Every structure is written in structure tokens, then in C-alpha cells.
Structure 1
Amino acid sequence: MPTAGGRSLWAATAGSVVDTFDWTLYALLVPYFSGQLVAPGAAGTLVSYGGFAVGFLARPLGSVLLGWFGDRRGRRAVMLLSMVVVAAGCFALAALPTAGRFGTGSVALLVLVRVLQGLAVGADNSTVAAYVTETAPSGRRMLYSGIAYGGVILGTVLCYLALAGLLAHFGPQGLRGGGWRVGFAVGGLLGSAAALMRCWAAESPEFLAFARSGHQHEGRADARSWRLVRRNATAVFLMTAGLTSGYYLTVTYLPEYVRHTGGSTDAQSTTAMVAPLLILLAMMAATGALADRIGARPVFRFGLLLTALTTVPAYAAVGAGRLPPWLAATLVLACLAGPLATANVFFARLFPVPIRVMALGLPLTLSVALFGGTFPLFAEALADAGHVRLAPWVATAAAILSLAATRLVREPGQAHTDRDRIPAN
């Protein structure tokens, strides 16, 4: 029987699986549903990718509104509410009327659903990071961070497997004809199961201790603490840029990148993405355990350096036909493994418990929205202009920016015990 810490970890991870399954599946299904829900051709694809970006732009607002609630009433309630909204949104996407039947109303409904899901996921991301940080056992915090963020990767694996299954069953034409609805319905079922798991999860003991001690207001009133919060929030915003750009370029946009450079995006190439993601999962567990021994910051920095050095050559080789897309994806994602594994706890521990969810959530979701959520739309616009090969250069520049931003991080020593402190530079 799993321990209380284990149940908390799996409840948090299950939600991350669903969040990512829904988000990635939407992006991968855009070429198939845009003709029905929006309009045929490139215009419909661009508008549908705009719906992807709008959902990300709603995340910062969700991190503030629901993050405020999570810092006052607890992490568990926000995680449960966000999962219910995401699951309901998946079912709604599966049932949306086509543009032929409902006109522009179908586009409006599509955007509305994505905004609501964006609000929920925006709160969930930072709440999960805070929850894992506060429930993980001492000495295994970075390992737990890697496992929890591994839910993001597992959700993507399930997404690619689901898309491959849909293509195998319906074929490309059948998927465009309405088979895409099945994928969103599966997301709704997964979300319902994750919501049940979160019903059984316990509240964070660290949050409960602070709530009982009555120190929340004292922490908010300290001017020095707020200066530190602002500095670390800026660092989180910049450090997230390289992670999210490289991840969404590789995991979400790679099939379209391959198509624009003359490759194929059939079921076989879709399934080929599973191997890089499974390798990434294993490497995240390994680098998380390593970070527990040597510190999060060195692991985080080294991964960003490797990402900056690898992305452009890997994508150039794909575009020239010298490297299979799945192998390029493996190389880039392997470089990102360390930063992805450590980000949850590394970032969350920069902020005090009473304001942790909101203080982490706003810069995190803003950065993901600006550098990640809009990346497929931005890359597709580059492709329409004939410059799709510039997309890897943008991701590389973001990785360099994130690497430089690690110098901004300052440890809030008054908020942590010695065993919790972030290792120095």
C-alpha cells in the first residue's frame, strides 16, 4: 500500500498527465479538426493554433485567481477543481458543433473552452509544484520533482499513442471527418479518473502547519521578503523561457516542422516520438536523483547549456534529411531532462509557503504563455513566410537567456531550514 507521500505524488502526477494529454493532443489534432470547426486550409489551421495560444494566455490569470485561493485554503482544493474543469473541457471539445452547422459560433465556443481550460491549468501547474515540494520526503525532493514533471512527459506519450491509434483506426481522412472527437473524449475520461485520485489525496502538511501557526500575514508584510520574491519571480520567468520553447518546439511542433521540410507525419512517424519521450522520462528520474546529491542549480544549468548547443544542429540535420526526426527529438529532449526534472521543486522553493502558489504561478505561466503556448503559432507563421528553419534558432536564444537568468536566483534563507536550502553557485 502506498504511503501518504506516495499517494500525494501520484495524485499530483496524474493531473499533470491529463493537463498535458489535453494540451498536446489539441495541438497535434489541429490539422485534422480545423477544417470542420474553423475553416479549410491554412487560415483554419492558423486560427486553431490561435486557440492553442489563447488557452496559454489565460493561464496567468488562472494562476492569480485560483493561486490566491490555493495559498489561503489549501493546495488540494485547487488541484481538484482544476482537474474537474479540464475534464469537462475535454468532453466539451469532443461535442463542439461544426462551423457548417453553427457558423462562427463554433469558433467562439472553441476559444471559450480553451480559455476555461487555460485558467484551470494555469493554477494547476504552480499548485502541483508547491504541493510536491511540501509533501516530498527530505533527500528525495528533486527525484519527486522529476517524477511529478514526468507526468507531463507521460501525458505526451499517451497523446502520441492515442493519435497513432486514431490514425490507424480512422485514417487521415476519417480523422478529419470527425474521428478527432474520440481523442478529446478519451482526455475527458482520463481527467475524470485523475479527479478521483485527487479526492483521496491529503492536504500538504507544510501548508497546514503554516495555516495553524497564523504566520501568513507576517510573511506578506515583510518588505525584504517581497524584494526577494520579485527578484526570484523575474528569474523564474526568464528561466522558464528556454525550457518551454525547446519543449514545445520538439514535442508539439516537430511533426509540422518535418512536414514543412519535406518529411511525413503519418502514424508511423507519430509513434516514433514515443521512444524519445520514454528516454526523457528515464533521464529525468536519473537527473532528479543526481540533483538531490549535487544540487538543482548545476544540473539545471548544464542541461540548458547542452540544449543551446544541440538544438540548431539537430534540426538542421532533420531539415537536410541526414537525421531521423525521432533521433533529433531524443537529442534535444535528453538535454532538457535535467532542467525539466528539477524545475518544479527548484522554482517552488524560491518562494515562502504563504504565497508560494501565486508567487510561482504568475511568472511561470506568463513565461509558458509567451514562449511556449505561442510557439506553434509563431513557428507556423514563420513557415507560411518561408522561414520555418528559423524556429530552432529562436528556441536556442531562449535557452541562452534562461541560462543567464540562473545568476539572478537568490535563496530565501529565512523561509527554509538548512537541509532545504538551494545549493550555492
Structure 2
Amino acid sequence: MSPSNAPSPPVPVPPPSMGRLAAASLVGTAIEFFDFFVYGTAAALVLGPLFFPTFSPLAGTLAAFGTFAVGFLSRPLGSILFGHVGDRYGRRPVLFASLLLTGCATVAVGCVPTYATLGIAAPVLLLVLRFLQGLGLGGEWGGAVLLTAEHAPAHRRALWSSFPQIGPAIGFLLANGVMLALSAGLSDAEFRSWGWRVPFWAAGLLAAAGLLLRSSLAETPQFEELSASGKRAGAPLAEVARDHWRLVLLTAGALAVGYAVFYTVSTWALAYGTERLGVSSTVMLTCVMAAVAVKGAATPFVAVLADRWGRRPLCLAGCAASALWMFPMVALLHTARPPLMFLGFLGALLAFITMFAVVAAYLPELYEPRVRCTGAAVGYNLAGVLGGALTPLVATALSDGGSGPPWGVAAYLTVVALVSLGCFALLPETLPERSEETAPEPAAV
């Protein structure tokens, strides 16, 4: 073959920009958490009387929070299912399948007739769809954080990995902003009749936009290296259970306080403020949303500190701050004065984000690449069961009766924070060396 006929060398494909990858992961988690949070807000405001009308107000709220908890119980199952896909077939397929499942389930929630129409079938359908929501969200987090963590330079991994952690704040603000606008613009009868369904229907459009954005994403380089070397895990869950079970339990216990604090503020406090303190839902939502907005804005700044000083010190600081702030937060909430309630919520969420801005880099670094999608996601979502699923139920039960502040809620949250502090103390530091170009080897635990 003459030189003139020789095939041209392949043109190298430039790596995707970190900004584009971070945007795709942020938008995806924002949409998924919009779907998840809009259910929590509806559970606090309307689902009890609409789907459990034969219960007392307290029992109806507990039942609505019970269906809310089911979403957390299914999240570890989603992390197992999608973690297997992510470790065997790539991180990219997880991003599509999880978003599609959660979006479809959320739209369907908005179409379920109430108890008055379907009877007992209505709450059963609600339960099934909430289970599917959690299943999809259980897969989303692992895929989204690995998209950024496995592309990012080591010395900026916490910063770039923090963008998926901003997504929950945006999803929460979108979900509650729509709920706030509807509850303020509609009569109570209109809101309970059809207004609460609108955010669930909107989830379909958001999911379609997210799928379009993710359609051109590249697979992560670390997974491509695993595929090329033939070192992918054959049974990721079995390998995690055999070799990393202690690490999974420690990370689940460590992160439980973050879920407990966040869902105390975003879910239980809404119900307590409206039902027990007589504060309007509009005022409660505004206070919580303002605190969540500040928390979201602070996320990348905390992550920068984690790239400078390490992951573990910030996590320990966040746990300690949570333990110290729970009693003041409950006292400030009980005043029913908006500025003081906002202050209580803000302090709690800043303690929360001191930990959760870091964990998107920290958890993947703790696991070796071949089981990273499964291990990190199972630990993260198991913490949701321990801290997120139980907290609204426990807090509602502890706050029943009495005219003073619900100190039992503060005591419960303080104990959770101390347990998480102990778990973080047993985890190693994973801050990479400045010269490192790839993910660090997992620390021995």
C-alpha cells in the first residue's frame, strides 16, 4: 500500500469538560430529588387526609410518612440493582435507567385517585409507586457522583463531586417552590382537589429534559480501564458483602445523621409547624426553602475545604455541630416566629452540608473501582433507611402531646449525631496526594 493510500490515524477524541459533566450530574440529581422531595412535601401537607381519611389527624400523618419511608427502604435495593449495572456494564447506563424509572413513577403518583374514589387500593398504589421512586433514586446517586469523581483531577475531586450534591437543594427548591405557589394561588379546596398533583405531572417534562442532556455523556475513564483489563467484578454485591461489609456499615452509620437532620427540617418540621404550631404552610415552606438555598450555595465552598484539609475532618466537624445544634433548633422552631425558625433550620443544614458536600468524593475513594458503584451507593442509601425513613415517624411520635418544645425530638437527633460521629472516627482519611492523577487505592478498614 502506498503512503498516499495509507489509512489516516484516528483523530483523538478530547475528554469531556468537567463543567459539562458537572452540569449533567447536577441537573440529573436535581430532577430525581425534585421527584423524591415533592412526595415528602405532599405527605406533610395533604396526603394524610386524602389517602387515609378514616384515621385521626395524627395517625393520618404517620400513615402518610409511612408511605414516605417506603421510598427510603427501596433505595438500598435500587443501589444494589443499579450498582450491579454500574460495576458490570458502566456508569453511563445507570444514569438513564434510574432517571427514567423515577420520572415515570412520579408522574403516576400524580394520577392516583384518592381514597374517596378507589378505597384501600389508593394508598396501596401510592405505596407501590413510592417504592419505585426510591428504587430509581437509589441508583441515581452512585451513577451521578461517579460520573464526576472518576473524571475529576485528584486534587479537585471533592469540588467537582460536590455538584451532584447541589442537585438535592435545587430539587427541593423546585418541588417546594411549585407547592408554595400552588398553595398560595389556589383555594384550600382547589389545592386538595388537584393542585397538589401538578408538581408530579411536571416531573415527566423534567425527566425528558434530563434524559436528553445525558444522551451524549461519555463513560468514565476508570470503568473503561476496568473493561479493557478484564477486571470488572463478576458479582459486585457478593464481593462488597464479603470484603467490604464493615466499611458499608460504618459509612451507613456515619451518614445517618445527615439524613436525619435534613428530613427533620424538610419534612417533619413542616407537619409540626402547620399542625401543632398553627403556622401557615406558606410561611413554613418559605423558612425551610430559604435555609435550603443557603445550604446549596455553600456546598462547593465546603468541598474546596475538603480538597485542602481532607474529607474526614469536615465530616467530624459536621457531626459535632449537629449534636450541639439540635436542642437550639427545636427551641427556635417552637417559637413559631419565622426569623427564628429560619435560623434554627439554617444552623442544622449548614452542619449537614459540612458532611454531605464531602461524601460524594469520600465514599468513592473508600472503595476500589471494580465495586465502587455498588459499595458507595449501598452505604449511602442504607444511611437513608437509618436516618431518613425513620426520622419523620419517630419525630412525629415523640412530639405528640404536651404544650412545650418537643425535646424528645432534639434528644433523638443528638443521639443519632453522636453515633454518626463515632462511625466517622473509625473511617480513614482518603485525601489524595497532590501529584496523584487517578483515584487512590481504597484505604483499609
TM beyond 0.5: yes
Matches within 5 A, 1:146-157: 146-157=162-173
- Pick from 27, 33, 38: which aligns with 2:52? 38
**Hey, what's the Cα distance between the residues in 1 that align with 2:400 and 2:208?**
38
Task: Give the C-alpha shift of residue 412 in structure 1.
Answer: 8.3
The corresponding residue for 1:363 is 379
Which residue pairs with 1:178 in the alignment?
A: 194
Structure 1, gaps ≥5 residues long: none
Asked if the contact 1:380/1:388 (under 8 Å) is kept, the reply is no
Larger radius of gyration: 2
Closer/same/farther in 2, CA of residues 75 and 220 from structure 1, 3 Å limit: closer
- Cα offset, 1:337, TM superposition: 2.0
Deviations 1:204-243 (A, max 9, x none): 11111111111235997999x9876233212211111111
Which residue in the other structure is 1:394 paired with?
Answer: 412
Q: Which amino acid aligns with 1:53?
A: A
- One-letter amino acid of the counterpart of residue 17, structure 2: A
Equivalent pair of 1:143/1:292 in contact (CA under 8 Å): yes
SS of residue paired to 1:97: coil
The AA in structure 2 aligned to 1:13 is L
**Aligned sequence identity (%):** 29
Deviation at 1:185, TM superposition (A): 1.0
Q: Is the 8 A contact 2:311 2:431 kept in 1?
A: no
Distance 2:110 2:23 in 1: 27
Counterpart code for 1:188:
G
Structure 2 counterparts to residues 62-101 of structure 1, below 5 A: 62-101=78-117
Q: Please, what is the CA RMSD of the aligned residues?
A: 2.9
Shift in Å, 1:385: 5.3
Matched, 1:343 2:359: yes
Closer/same/farther in 2, CA of residues 222 and 194 from structure 1, 3 Å limit: closer
Letter in 2 for 1:233: V
What is aligned with 2:8?
A: none
Long gaps (5+) in structure 2 = 1-14
For residues 118-154 of structure 1, the C-alpha deviation after alignment (integer angstroms, 9 at most, x for no partner) is 1111121222232221122332211122221010111
Does structure 1 conserve the Cα–Cα contact (< 8 Å) formed by 2:166 and 2:299? yes
What's the offset of the Cα at 1:261?
A: 4.7
Match of 2:274 among 259, 262, 269: 259
SS, match of residue 200 in structure 1 = coil
Amino acid at match of 1:304: C
Question: Helix, strand or coil for the counterpart of 2:358?
Answer: helix
> Could you tell me which residue of structure 1 aligns to residue 5 of structure 2?
none
Structure 2 CA distance for aligned equivalents of residues 106 and 261 of structure 1: 27
> Residues 330 and 406 of structure 2 are in contact (CA less than 8 Å); yes or no, is this contact kept in structure 1?
no
Q: 1:233 to 1:218 in 2, by over 3 A?
A: same
CA separation of 1:216/1:412 partners in 2, compared to 1, >3 Å: closer, same or farther?
farther
Match of 1:352, as an amino acid?
Answer: E
- The structure richer in helix per residue is 1
Q: Following the alignment from structure 1 to structure 2, what is the Cα–Cα distance between the partners of residues 56 and 9?
A: 25
Change (3 A) 1:166 1:410: same
TM-score, normalisation: structure 1: 0.91
How many residues matched?
421
- Relative distance call for 1:70 and 1:315 in structure 2 (3 A) is same
> C-alpha separation between the residues in 2 aligned to 1:226 and 1:255?
38
* 1:377 matched to 2:390: no
Instruction: State how far apart, in whole Å, the 2-side matches of 1:283 and 1:84 are.
Output: 29
Counterpart AA for 1:373:
A
Equivalent position of 1:130 in the other structure:
146
Distance in 2, Cα, partners of 1:165 & 1:273: 15
Deviation at 1:370, TM superposition (A): 2.3
1:196 to 194, 197, 212: 212
Letter matched to residue 46 of structure 2: Y
Q: 1:278/1:373 Cα in 2 relative to 1: closer, same or farther (>3 Å)? A: same
What's the CA shift for 1:51?
0.9
CA separation in 2, counterparts of 1:333 and 1:211?
Answer: 40
More deviation in 278-287 or 187-196?
187-196
Change (3 A) 1:118 1:271: same
Does the alignment pair 1:29 with 2:61?
no
